[in-house]
Chains A and B, each alone.
Chain A
Amino acid sequence: MIEFNNVSKWYGEFQVLDNCTTHVSKGEVVVVCGPSGSGKSTLIKTVNALEPFEKGTVWVNGISVGDAKTDLPKLRARAGMVFQHFELFPHLSVTENLCMGQIKVLKRNPEEAKAKAHALLDRVGLLAHKDKHPGMLSGGQQQRVAIARALSMDPMVMLFDEPTSALDPEMVNEVLDVMSDLAREGMTMMVVTHEMGFARRVADRVIFMDGGKIIEDCATSEFFDNADARSERTRLFLSKILQH
């Protein structure tokens, strides 16, 4: 479904991505972790071309992202993205947030879009809030709306960039539960997160990045249970993050 081949990216002299090669198969859930500044966000944002890259190729469902001829809006419409700070549109109601892409990008008619929006809101348990503005919802609720908004486009893959790290602890689980449900239904997902409990339960594979490089790329059980086979850097990271 997604293939990264030797992807490299620089900010001037500074290399953010260093020959990253990996893949995400259809229906697979891949967790990306690593210290701050290691290039996790940059890597998943190459998938929908929010971050351009200088070298290598990224293929999404047979389409080359870096190709100048690729219709990027069309590609992006099929890749749902969920951000750390939700990024709901504060001037629109919850329903309107879910309809915008459907109407403007997919050209669905407003009735159809609204029906779809309400079905998705029901699914994430927020139908009662359909007419509110995002500013009136809690962080956890906003992130669930953001997931519903991404799903409204019928994406073939969902990208999550630290979806729970801006949330108060008591709201983390309501968001992780929605994500776990999605995974169970077979959605292809790439998730940047430090929630190792979620990774262990839900992920098929774990990628560990440091300094723009992919250091580990292995099955979840291998990643967590076979510590001896992990690099020094990975063990250090895991020991820090699993302490609490």
Chain B
Amino acid sequence: MNYDWSWTVFVDLSSNGVDTYLYTLLMGVGWTLALSLSAGVISLFFGSIVAVLRTAPSVWLHFIGTVYVEIFRNIPLLVQMFLWYFVLPEVLPKDWGDALKQMGQPWGQFIPAVLCLSFYGTARLAETLRAGIQSLPRGQGQAGTAMGLTPLQVYRYVIMPQAYRIVIPPLTSEFMGIVKYSSVALTIGLLELTGQARAMQEFSFHIFEAFSAATAGYLAINGCVVMAMHYLERHFALPGRIGWKARMKLSGSAS
């Protein structure tokens, strides 16, 4: 193979003639982080609400939750990305649509991408959380209800604090998934990490270096996700339950 390896390519000037590739790649990391973090937080919030709807005793609430999840979980993410980017501005009232189209780089791409990943993430996190809620003994909800808590208070103070703890491991995979899915935003022109790596490859022909850098970037981001979630898992571990021993070992006190 005739390939001219050169790690110094990162300090060469990029296509904009001002910044180095290292800088544009780091900008890409920044957008990937911004996109994943926004989508993750929004998905967790709305995913919790949809999970509650899915487990509510009311047939109607349950139906609404189910329809939402099935729609957004079953359409390919790439198609959803195109719908948010190309179709949404056309179906909105004209001045809203025009405003979206005129926003330009990068917000014109960032906002549809956040919407897309959040709607999709909400459906996925709702399913994860629903499994957590349903794994709790039925008596927990009854005990809360029996002491006079309203249904919302039962979710708020009894069910959800336990459900979040239970789903931390699958939630970790979901958050890592959001980081990985964020690369789909490249298709609508957002220069997140994959987008920047591709731009670098196209301009410099250093495809291996470019995607080695992208790989390292994703590994680093998801490594942080894993560590943060491990920390949360230990921090919120309950006495006498799984994870408690690890927490005790870490903090050095005996139980």
> For chain A residues 77-109, which have a beta carbon within 8 Å of chain B?
77, 79-81, 83-85, 87-91, 100-101, 104-106
Contact indicator B241/A90 (Cβ below 8 Å) = yes
Distance between B162 CB and nearest chain A CB, rounded to angstroms: 6
Please tell me if B1 contacts chain A, counting CB pairs below 8 Å.
no
- Find out whether the CB atom of A83 lies under 8 angstroms from the CB atom of B148: no
Contact B142 A50 (CB under 8 A): yes
- Asked whether, in the complex, the Cβ of B239 is within 8 Å of the Cβ of A132, the reply is yes
Q: B137 interface residue, CB < 8 Å from A?
A: yes
Which residue of B has the minimal Cβ distance to A79? B146
Cα of A101 to Cα of B144 in the assembled complex, Å? 8
**Residues of chain A contacted by B146 (CB below 8 angstroms):** 48, 50, 76, 79-81
Interface residues of B in 133-158 (CB under 8 A from A): 137, 139-140, 142-150, 153, 157-158
A75 to B150, CA, bound (A): 12
A110 CB within 8 Å of chain B: no
Contact A87–B140 (Cβ < 8 Å): yes
Say yes or no: A100-B140 contact (C-beta < 8 A), given A90-B162, A90-B241.
no
Contact B239 A133 (CB under 8 A): yes
How long is the Cα–Cα vector from A129 to B118 in the complex, in angstroms? 44
Closest-by-CB residue of B relative to A88 is B143
Nearest-neighbour CB distance to chain A for B36, whole angstroms, equals 28
- Chain B residues with CB below 8 A from A75, complex form: 148
Whether A77 lies near B147 (C-beta < 8 A) is yes
Give A73 to B244 CA distance when docked, in angstroms: 35
Contact of B157 among A50, A85, A100, A106 (CB under 8 A): A100
If the complex has contacts A83-B143, A87-B137, A87-B140, are A135 and B241 also in contact, measured as CB distance less than 8 A? yes
In whole angstroms, what is the CA distance A77 to B157 when docked? 16
User: Within the assembled complex, what's the spacing in Å between the Cα atoms of A135 and B149?
Assistant: 23
B228 part of interface (Cβ distance < 8 Å): no
B252 at the interface (CB under 8 A from A): no
Query: When A91-B238, A135-B240 are in contact, do A76 and B147 touch as well, CB less than 8 Å?
Result: yes
Q: A149 on the interface (CB 8 Å rule)?
A: yes
Task: Give Cα distance in the complex from A101 to B145, angstroms.
Answer: 10
- Given A48-B146, A79-B146, A135-B240, CB of A89 within 8 Å of CB of B140: yes
A136 touches B240 (CB 8 A): yes
* B101 close to chain A: CB less than 8 A: no
Q: Taking CB as reference atom, which chain B residue is nearest A133?
A: B239
A74, CB-defined interface residue at 8 Å: yes
Residues of B within 8 A of A76 (CB): 145-148
Q: Considering the complex of A and B, which 10 residue pairs feature the smallest CB-CB distances, nearest first? A: A135-B240, A77-B148, A87-B143, A133-B239, A101-B147, A105-B148, A81-B146, A87-B139, A73-B148, A76-B148
Not counting A50-B146, A87-B137, A133-B240, a sample of 11 additional A-B residue pairs whose C-beta atoms are within 8 angstroms of each other reads A76-B147, A77-B147, A79-B146, A80-B147, A87-B142, A87-B143, A89-B157, A91-B162, A100-B149, A101-B148, A150-B147
Residues of chain A touching chain B, judged by Cβ–Cβ distance below 8 Å, are: 48, 50, 73-77, 79-81, 83-85, 87-91, 100-101, 104-106, 132-136, 149-150, 153
Q: Can you list 16 A-B pairs with a CB-CB distance of less than 8 A?
A: A50-B142, A76-B148, A79-B146, A81-B143, A81-B146, A81-B147, A83-B139, A85-B137, A90-B162, A91-B162, A91-B238, A104-B153, A105-B147, A105-B148, A135-B241, A153-B147
